[in-house]
Amino acid sequence: MSDSSDFRLDGRVAIVTGGASGIGYETVKALQDSGAQTAIVDINPERGQKAAKELDTAFFQADLTKSEQVKKVADQVQDIASNNAGIAYNVPSEDCSDEDWLRVININLNAVFFLLPRVRQDHASAREGQYNQHRFHVRHRFEHPTTAIRL
């Protein structure tokens, strides 16, 4: 894994979904360490505001399973969208309700599906169709690669 000084995002603006905790929070820190300006998107306003204050960044409250809220988030994306919003229920599958299962699918799968094509569509004309997938590594608590879409 390369040193963060080798990977610079100076002048770029990154929106991080699920940025109020876990991998999303660490992604915000890694992006900031690489020079990017950041904004957190999270469904939980209390955690989002707390994380934004700790990281000295902006916060947008949104439920990414709602198309009208996805549109508002996509409109804020300038350079980088990093999808980290996700949930899990730590129960045996036989104890997982249909409602809980569908909530996991809606947040972990559908939210990504809804957001990235919208971001791509909104930015294709502005960037003359440039759309590159870029991998970067979070080097803080998590030694876990994540994928961001760089426009």
- Fold classification of 4-150 is Rossmann fold (3.40.50)
Q: Token pair for residue 82?
A: 């990093």
Which of the two residues, 122 and 143, has the higher pLDDT score?
Answer: 122
Strand ranges, E, within 1-105: 13-17, 37-42, 58-61, 80-83
Query: Tell me, what's the pLDDT at 141?
Result: 31
| For the chain, percent of residues with pLDDT exceeding 70 | 75
β pairing state of 144-150 and 80-83: antiparallel
User: What are the residue boundaries of the structural domains of the chain, listed by start?
Assistant: 4-150
Ranked by mean pLDDT, which of 12-16, 28-32, 81-85 comes out on top?
28-32
With contact defined as beta carbons under 8 Å apart, do 113 and 85 qualify? no
In the structure, what pLDDT confidence band is assigned to residue 140 with cuts at 50, 70 and 90?
Answer: very low
Which of the two residues, 141 and 94, has the higher pLDDT score?
Answer: 94
User: Using one digit for the tens of pLDDT, what is the confidence trace for 57-88?
Assistant: 999 999 999 988 888 888 877 788 888 988 88
Mean per-residue pLDDT, 101-129: 74
Query: Tell me, what's the pLDDT at 131?
Result: 36
Max Cα-Cα span within the chain: 49
pLDDT, averaged across the chain: 78
Query: Tell me, what's the pLDDT at 80?
Result: 86
Give the residue among 16, 13, 36, 12 at the shortest CA–CA distance from 25.
Answer: 16
pLDDT for residue 125 is more than 80: no
